[in-house]
Amino acid sequence: MSDLFWLTDAQMARLEPFFPKSHGKPRVDDKRVLSGIIFINRNGLRWRDAPREYGPHKTLYNRWKRWSDKGIFAQMMVGLAADHGEQT
């Protein structure tokens, strides 16, 4: 599938300050997982329909659920908006 979405290294560098600290076991590749989460949400797909290039759909869902519950994605949006002078 040639139309997959992949975050760039520059985009990942801007997002990394918002990542929670890893405790114990290292996380699965953040770039692959976050790119998969964005692809799923942008295309309105079910988690199980994630292209295999992003890894197991269960991994994508678990990361999305865990980080959503902790407010990580909301913090990313607020932080990125603040970087551009926007006020919330």
pLDDT at site 1: 46
Sequence-separated (6 or more) residues with CB below 8 Å from residue 73: 67
The residue with tokens 């902790």 is 70
Q: Helix (H, G, I), strand (E, B), or coil: what is residue 29? A: coil
Q: What is the CA radius of gyration of the chain?
A: 13
pLDDT digits (tens, 9 = 90+) for 22-74: 888 888 899 999 999 999 999 999 999 999 999 999 999 999 999 999 999 99
Q: Helix (H, G, I), strand (E, B), or coil: what is residue 74? A: helix
